[in-house]
Amino acid sequence: SLHFRRAITERITVRVEIAVGALGRTSIPTTYRITDADGTLYAEAEATLVWVDRGTGQPTPLPPGLRSRLEAT
């Protein structure tokens, strides 16, 4: 989901912050914030990424290497 907080009405440099939440067995919850240099919030978003087996198209457990790297951040 995406929540707009205010319009960006001129050319500015924005910062996109990305955070990973508590990992599921097959999923990676993520959050996003778009701000400017002063910290003004323009938008917030949440998304859940699901690891899928290419052959079956079904959710599959996150690979151990990926899981350990994400848990270390």
39-49 pLDDT tens trace: 999 999 999 99
Sheet containing strand 41-50, strands side by side: 2-4, 41-50, 27-35, 15-20
Q: Is 30 within 8 Å of 2 (Cβ atoms)? A: no
Read off the pTM: 0.83
pLDDT in tens, 8-67: 999 999 999 999 999 999 999 999 999 999 999 999 999 999 999 999 999 999 999 999
